[in-house]
Structure 1
Amino acid sequence: MYFLALAVDFDGTIAEHGYVTPATVSALERLRQTGRKLLLVTGRELNDLQHAFTQLEIFDVVIAENGALLFEPGTQEETRLAPPPPIELVQMLADRKVTPISVGRSIIATWRPHETAVMNAIEELGLEMQIIFNKGAVMVLPANVNKASGLRHALATLGISPLNTVGAGDAENDHAFLACCGCSAAVANAVPSLKKEADLVLSKDHGDGIAELVEKLIRDDRLLLPLTKRAILAGVSLEGEEIYIEPSDIILIIGNSGCGKSSYITLLTERMAERGFEFCVVDPEGDYLGLDHAVTIGGLADPPATEEALRLLLQANIDVVVNTLALNHDDRRHMFMDLVPAVKKLQRSSGRPHWFVVDEAHQFLPPHDPGNRAAPRLAAGAILVTVDPARLAPAALAEASTVIAMGSSAGRLLQDLADILKIPGPAHAPQTQGTDFLLWSPRTNRPPLVLKQEKPQQAHHRHRGKYATGDVGEWRSFYFRGPQLDINYQASNLAEFLHQSDEVDDEIWLHHLRSGDYSAWFRHVIRDDILAADAAQIERNESLSPLESRKRIRQPVTARYVIPAVYNGSASLPTAS
Structure 2
Amino acid sequence: MRYHVLAADYDGTLAHDERVDDSTVEALRRLRDSGRKLILVTGRRLEPVLELFPEVSLFHHIVAENGALLFDPTTGEETLLAAPPPPEFAAELTRRGVHRLETGRCIVATWQPFETISLDVIREFEIDLQIIFNKDAVMLLPSGVNKAFGLSKALQRIGFSSHNVVAVGDAENDEAMMRSCGAAAAVDNALPRVKAMADVVLRHPRGKGVEELIDMIIENDLDELRHRPHRQLVLGTRLDGEPFSIASHGESVLVTGGPGGGKSKLAIRVMESLTERGEQCCVVDPEGDYRGLDGSITLGTAERAPDVEEVVGVLESPDDHCVVSFFGIAKDDRPEYFNKLFRALSELRSRTGRPHWIIVDEAHYAAPKDWQPAKMWSGDELAGIIFITAYHDRISPAVLEHVDWIISIAEQPEDAIEQCCQLMGDALPSFDRPKIECQHGALAWRRGERYPVWFSRLSPRDEGQRHQHSYYEGVMDEELQFVFRGVDNRMSLATGNLKEFIKTASGIDDETWIHHLKHGDYSTWFRDIIKDPEVADEIATIERNTGLPAKDSREMIADHILKRFKPPW
How far off is 1:49 after superposition? 0.9
Quick one: which of 347, 350, 353 aligns to 2:349? 347
Q: Report what 1:308 is aligned to.
A: 310
Q: Report what 2:418 is aligned to.
A: 415
How far does the alpha carbon of each residue in 1:23-81 deviate from its partner, in whole angstroms, 9 at most, with x for none? 33333333333322221110111111112222222322211111122223334333332
TM-score by length of 1: 0.83
How far off is 1:365 after superposition? 1.0
Q: Report what 1:368 is aligned to.
A: 370
For 2:478 and 2:243, the matched residues in 1 are separated by 47
Q: Report what 1:258 is aligned to.
A: 260
- Which residue identity lines up with residue 68 of structure 2 in the other structure? A
For 1:227 and 1:426, the matched residues in 2 are separated by 28
Q: Report what 2:470 is aligned to.
A: 466
For 1:293 and 1:309, the matched residues in 2 are separated by 15
How far does the alpha carbon of each residue in 1:137-185 deviate from its partner, in whole angstroms, 9 at most, with x for none? 2223233222111101111222221111111112221121111111122
Unaligned runs of 5+ in 2: none
For 2:509 and 2:195, the matched residues in 1 are separated by 74
Q: Report what 1:396 is aligned to.
A: 399
Quick one: which of 444, 449, 465 aligns to 2:453? 449
Q: Which moved more, 1:159-168 or 1:425-434?
A: 425-434
Q: CA distance change for structure 1 residues 240 and 130 in 2, over 3 Å: closer, same or farther? A: closer
How far off is 1:545 after superposition? 4.7
8 Å CA contact 2:468, 2:566 repeated in 1: no
Q: Report what 1:230 is aligned to.
A: 231
1:49-60 to 2 correspondence within 5 Å?
A: 49-60=49-60
* Secondary structure, counterpart of 2:301 in structure 1: coil
8 Å CA contact 1:461, 1:560 repeated in 2: no
- Which residue identity lines up with residue 263 of structure 2 in the other structure? K
How far off is 1:15 after superposition? 1.6
For 1:258 and 1:560, the matched residues in 2 are separated by 20
How far off is 1:521 after superposition? 5.5
For 1:425 and 1:224, the matched residues in 2 are separated by 29
Q: Which moved more, 1:242-251 or 1:504-513?
A: 504-513
For 2:238 and 2:102, the matched residues in 1 are separated by 59
For 1:387 and 1:565, the matched residues in 2 are separated by 24
For 2:462 and 2:331, the matched residues in 1 are separated by 29
For 2:520 and 2:375, the matched residues in 1 are separated by 43
Between Structure 1 and Structure 2, how many residues are aligned?
554
Unaligned runs of 5+ in 1: 567-577
| CA RMSD in angstroms, aligned pairs only | 4.1
8 Å CA contact 2:226, 2:232 repeated in 1: no
8 Å CA contact 2:84, 2:142 repeated in 1: no
For 1:561 and 1:337, the matched residues in 2 are separated by 36
8 Å CA contact 1:160, 1:349 repeated in 2: no
8 Å CA contact 1:252, 1:400 repeated in 2: yes
Q: Which moved more, 1:313-322 or 1:2-11?
A: 313-322
Q: CA distance change for structure 1 residues 472 and 406 in 2, over 3 Å: closer, same or farther? A: closer
For 2:128 and 2:238, the matched residues in 1 are separated by 52
Q: CA distance change for structure 1 residues 53 and 558 in 2, over 3 Å: closer, same or farther? A: farther
- Which residue identity lines up with residue 467 of structure 2 in the other structure? H
8 Å CA contact 2:38, 2:61 repeated in 1: yes
* Secondary structure, counterpart of 2:322 in structure 1: strand
Q: Report what 2:166 is aligned to.
A: 166
TM-score by length of 2: 0.84
Q: Report what 2:35 is aligned to.
A: 35
- Which residue identity lines up with residue 439 of structure 1 in the other structure? A
For 2:498 and 2:73, the matched residues in 1 are separated by 61
For 1:448 and 1:379, the matched residues in 2 are separated by 22
Q: CA distance change for structure 1 residues 343 and 562 in 2, over 3 Å: closer, same or farther? A: farther
For 2:491 and 2:411, the matched residues in 1 are separated by 38
Q: Report what 1:358 is aligned to.
A: 360
How far off is 1:355 after superposition? 0.6
Q: Which moved more, 1:485-494 or 1:333-342?
A: 485-494
Q: % of aligned pairs identical?
A: 37
For 2:403 and 2:511, the matched residues in 1 are separated by 52
Q: CA distance change for structure 1 residues 211 and 545 in 2, over 3 Å: closer, same or farther? A: same
* Secondary structure, counterpart of 1:459 in structure 2: coil
